[in-house]
Structure 1
Amino acid sequence: MVLITVALTLAFTFRGLFNSASAIRLSAVPPSINTSSGIFCGAVNATSRIESFKGVRYAQPPIGDLRFAAPLRLTRSPDDIQDASNFGNACPQLGLSEAFTILYGSPSLDAEISEDCLFLNIYRPQGTLTGSRLPILVFIHGGAYSVGAGSQFQGISLIQQSVANGSPIIFITINYRLYITGFLSSSILPPEDLNAGLLDQRLAFQFIQDNAEAFGGDPDKITLWGQSAGASSIALHYLYPTSDQLFRGAIQDSGAGTILNVPSVEQYDQAGKPFDLLLTLSGCQRGNSTLQCLRNITIDNLLNMAQAIDNISPQAAPGQSTTWLPSRGPEGSMIPELPSVRTSSGDFFRVPLITGTNLDEGTLFGLSFLGPTAGPSADASIFNTFVVNRTIDPTTVSSSTVGQFDAFYPAKLPSTVSNSSLFDRLAAFVDDFHFVGPRRLLTDNLAVKQDVWVYLFEEAVPDVPAELGAFHGAELSFLQILNRTVPAMASLSSQLVDFYLNFTVSLDPGPAWSKYTPSTRQVLQLQHNNVTMIPDDFRLNETNFINSAGVDHEFGR
């Protein structure tokens, strides 16, 4: 097929697609990229003029003896030619929930599920050349480390806006192991294999850096962007970095710092705790053959056992979806100490950062409590149990700590929106404990020596229940990576996307957004027709208590 090259000035008339004509080539031939894992033939969307390469394998399949193990680099021939027009498999995970559908606007992953799931997806402007050296934005999906896939998020509109701005980028999404296959925790695992899901992400970053020039990206201009567990993952990558600098900036939506507890592997081994329960359910004996026994279990049976343990474990009360989370191990593991200790020490890899939270982060986690309950006494008991179940071992949480939270978030007349006092106080507690507090701990320590921009997103999504407000993940509907549109809020959407694109290109979101400093403590309020800087001074007593060393240690954060 004849290659058709079209001059830049004739091919595009809107605001300059690239800064130089040498960066673009239009072709009638399906695009291909030659990577260390093979040659991938992608597809072009003729309407959007976006090229995509889906299902690009970045690691060996984590199956057989590699189940629960750190991912391995590919050893296959780079001459292999592979179709990249369809998404690769999503990783085994917890069943999708009502919250998942609200969060992402769809109950579908758009992919099959299999343990052979370590794939990534690349989106770039049509005609991008090898060596174009475009900035790269890598998205890490959330889902409490237990659900989701890179296939849910697409970069077509995002890249179109970058092209229209005259500063095109490449957008990449990744899969990583989830739930029990990604976060099995026990002292029986070799330290270097703990937190396999996070190690998957790290290897994906390395693959992207190694192959950036091959698909037209700049290996020195990689920005990570994550939401929820994806954002928390990014925090763990710069708190516990490798010797290689795999990214130069980060964007964290609703997940800065230690949003979840990070239990020690020894806690998982204790009687009645997740790994001990897994041995009981599986019939595997503790010893040299334990891991091999667990690897011999079919994936469906393994997932059923993991979910049964969720239902048994105290910390799996409503609002805490899984017991299988990042854990803390000995020296040689990725996370050898509490994240709050590492954050407070300031001894971590510092990068320019955009981070923030939504106004109503906690509402999505309190859906099961929405509505009438048995009365004030029952509500108080449920609230206190919910608080202590933020950790894998509730006995570590003192009664005085529970009492202080009870005082900070008292029972009151229900709001006119939710009509549930319990829902309101749980939502407020989750908002501060899992999101605003950790964000403040991180930004106050990071902003001393690094550029930081902080936001507070306050806009609701039109097509969800009103009582959810600006819920956890609401901003994703405005960031043009979901199959959900908010036409009534197009102006806010475009402005928010521009902030992220500017940061990806120049590590600065633009003059409308002032930096956060410990002295000014200003955050950007994101609201339709009201984007302005405001003081970061709401609920300080609550978050100061949450960020105290004693509370962080009680909850293992």
Structure 2
Amino acid sequence: MRILLLSLVNLVIATGIDSSYRFENASLSVQSTGGLVRGVIDSQLPSVRQFLGIPYAQPPIGDLRFAAPQPAGQFGTINTTSLPLSCPVSNASGTIYSKYVLEFNLQGLNYTAPTSEDCLKLSVWAPTETPQDGGLPVLIFIYGGGFGTGGIDVPYQIPAQWVQRTQDHIVVTFNYRVNIFGFPGSAALPADGFNLGLLDQRMAVEWVAANIAAFGGDPDRMILWGQSAGAASAAVYGYSYPDDPLVRGLIQDSGTEALVGSLHPEQVASNFSFVAAKLGCEGLVPAEELACMRQVPADDIENFLLAYSVAGKTPSLSFSPVVDEKLVFSNWSERALTGSIAKIPAILGTNKDEGAFTPYDPTDPAQVAVFNQTLQGVFLCPAVMSTKIRAAAGLETYRYRYSGNFSNISPTTWLGAYHSSELPLLMGTHPNFRGNSTPEEYALSTFMQDAWVAFARDDGAALEALGWPRYDNSTAGGLIMQLGHGDTAHTDTADWLEQRC
């Protein structure tokens, strides 16, 4: 079934700037709970205030390494005029991101970018004019990276151009700890101390809730939005804080709770001890081992993990969210069906060619098999299951499938709508690299941007006004929104797609 959507003219009217707002020029100096932050305006984006690198937690160094985040406290007056360094990461080689699309790497295409443990900072992109009455909707973005890499300084994922175009929303992105720094699993840690990266995420959301009004945002209209591991984080967040989510909705680009929950504490504790032994902390009881690892230079830890990964050594080392039955659970579906989940709407989606981010040669049958297995087993089928579970639990849910294939985003034809390729269209960065964007690309970008903002402003009602139906189990396969599949957008039944699962 195809339902043609509103023309772009009508769409802008429906989802553009709310004419009921009365705007006033906003200041580049904003008083936050921690102190005065001074932002910057880029001359090429004159209608966007950028506050880059605001501390939301204390630096996780010394005794705070491998510990739960602590509030930033008072920092006086700071200039927030440049993007902060990302947390220590372990970049994997041999993917499309290291060969074809470096714009998804850190620090301006630098594949070996510097990082810092003093990384628990966030950035705010807000219009230069903000409403006097009420505030603007807010999208809080969680980056992906398999819980091993990522940061807010990724060229394709900087939302300034989006805010410049719409002038009716705010975007916040934040760093959180990943890999061994975010999910250490030391046997000496308390039961609630395994998933530090997820605790970072909650503290960032709490900071936004407490401060976004000062930037012109509405704390009652915040959406938590993530991609890949960030999408999984958003899904997990809904289970972790069922009674106090602080946000009014979730958006999950290519990720669900099924991406986490397979690791258990004893597995990660073994990995932590293995790394500790290689870095001079061998033969110690857990508490001594943890204390020793807190003294090892962060660069030594980061470089060891990177070299170990590049060399393809065994055993493989995984540091990602573990089941603790506090934030990460072993019974997702049961919890949803019994009401132990935030009662807020969600958008879930996948991309047509998710698996193309793995090492891929379309002429090699073995790699084609890996591609299909990745697409279905890791992304598509878990999204199908999560959508159906949410619908069965009576939770408002909207689903999409992204198929956009544009040469300045996908430089080889077989990449197609690869994992994360929708983000440049959402962030507005699609024309920045490898040539100009097509009119079709701009049209799809505009629709997606405005749909995401509409969801933040008015939840699902705004999506349904755009012709995006709520997903339910009464129709075979349910109704989903096709994005970039032959046209800008249309609805479709998903039975043909879900048969793969």
Sort the TM-score into its range (normalised by shorter chain): 0.7 to 0.9
Amino acid at match of 1:223: I
Aligned twin of 2:390: 446
Q: Quickly say closer, same or farther: Cα 1:204–1:89, change in 2 above 3 A.
A: same
Distance in 1 (CA, whole Å) between partners of 2:286 and 2:266 is 15
Aligned twin of 2:6: none
Distance in 1 (CA, whole Å) between partners of 2:254 and 2:104 is 20
Q: Quickly say closer, same or farther: Cα 1:524–1:92, change in 2 above 3 A.
A: same
Aligned twin of 1:328: 323
Distance in 2 (CA, whole Å) between partners of 1:171 and 1:432 is 31
Aligned twin of 1:61: 59
What is the TM-score normalised by the length of structure 2? 0.85
Contact 2:333 2:389 in 1 (8 A): no
Distance in 2 (CA, whole Å) between partners of 1:261 and 1:84 is 36
Distance in 1 (CA, whole Å) between partners of 2:307 and 2:261 is 21
Contact 1:458 1:525 in 2 (8 A): yes
Q: Deviations over 1:488-520 (max 9, x none)?
A: 121111111111111111113233211111112
Deviation of 1:41 after TM superposition, in Å, equals 0.6
Match of 2:28 among 26, 31, 38: 31
Match of 2:415 among 458, 461, 468: 468
Match of 1:109 among 96, 102, 107: 107
Aligned twin of 1:379: none
Q: Deviations over 1:130-150 (max 9, x none)?
A: 875211111111111112211
Correspondences of 1:533-552 after superposition (within 5 Å): 533-538=491-496, 540=498, 542-543=500-501
Distance in 2 (CA, whole Å) between partners of 1:63 and 1:223 is 30
Match of 1:425 among 336, 354, 369: 369
Amino acid at match of 2:426: L
Deviation of 1:16 after TM superposition, in Å, equals 8.4
Correspondences of 1:397-408 after superposition (within 5 Å): none
Aligned twin of 2:70: 72
Q: Counterpart of 1:504 in 2: which secondary structure?
A: helix
Distance in 2 (CA, whole Å) between partners of 1:16 and 1:334 is 37
Which structure is higher in RCO with an 8 Å CA cutoff and minimum separation 6?
2
Contact 1:134 1:216 in 2 (8 A): yes
Deviation of 1:256 after TM superposition, in Å, equals 2.4
> Alignment length, in residue pairs?
460
> Gaps (5+ residues) in structure 2?
1-14
Task: Tell which deviates more after alignment, 482-491 or 85-94.
Answer: 482-491
Distance in 2 (CA, whole Å) between partners of 1:84 and 1:477 is 24
Match of 1:532 among 464, 481, 490: 490
Deviation of 1:121 after TM superposition, in Å, equals 0.6
Amino acid at match of 1:500: W
Q: Deviations over 1:424-466 (max 9, x none)?
A: 1111111111111111111111123122111111122314221
> Gaps (5+ residues) in structure 1?
1-14, 317-321, 371-417, 544-557
Contact 1:134 1:218 in 2 (8 A): yes
Amino acid at match of 2:29: S
Deviation of 1:275 after TM superposition, in Å, equals 2.5
Distance in 1 (CA, whole Å) between partners of 2:467 and 2:233 is 28
Aligned twin of 2:5: none
Contact 1:227 1:473 in 2 (8 A): yes
Deviation of 1:107 after TM superposition, in Å, equals 4.0
Aligned twin of 2:345: 352
Q: Quickly say closer, same or farther: Cα 1:451–1:483, change in 2 above 3 A.
A: same
Match of 1:87 among 66, 77, 83: 83
Match of 1:518 among 452, 473, 478: 473
Q: Counterpart of 2:367 in 1: which secondary structure?
A: helix
Aligned twin of 1:123: 125
Deviation of 1:301 after TM superposition, in Å, equals 1.3
Q: Counterpart of 1:45 in 2: which secondary structure?
A: coil
Deviation of 1:22 after TM superposition, in Å, equals 3.9
Task: Tell which deviates more after alignment, 190-199 or 483-492.
Answer: 483-492
Aligned twin of 1:390: none
CA RMSD of aligned residues (A): 2.4
Q: Quickly say closer, same or farther: Cα 1:283–1:542, change in 2 above 3 A.
A: farther
Correspondences of 1:117-156 after superposition (within 5 Å): 117-128=119-130, 132-152=134-154, 153-156=157-160
Amino acid at match of 1:501: V
Correspondences of 1:32-431 after superposition (within 5 Å): 32-48=29-45, 49-76=47-74, 80-95=76-91, 97=93, 98-101=95-98, 102=100, 105=103, 107-110=105-108, 112-128=114-130, 132-152=134-154, 153-163=157-167, 168-241=168-241, 243-269=243-269, 273-284=270-281, 285-307=284-306, 310=309, 311-314=312-315, 316=316, 323-329=318-324, 333-339=326-332, 341-343=334-336, 345-367=338-360, 370=361, 418-431=362-375
Aligned twin of 1:407: none
Contact 1:131 1:213 in 2 (8 A): no
Deviation of 1:341 after TM superposition, in Å, equals 4.9
Task: Give the number of the structure whose alpha-carbon radius of gyration is greater.
Answer: 1
Q: Counterpart of 2:347 in 1: which secondary structure?
A: strand
Q: Quickly say closer, same or farther: Cα 1:421–1:243, change in 2 above 3 A.
A: same
Distance in 2 (CA, whole Å) between partners of 1:130 and 1:178 is 39
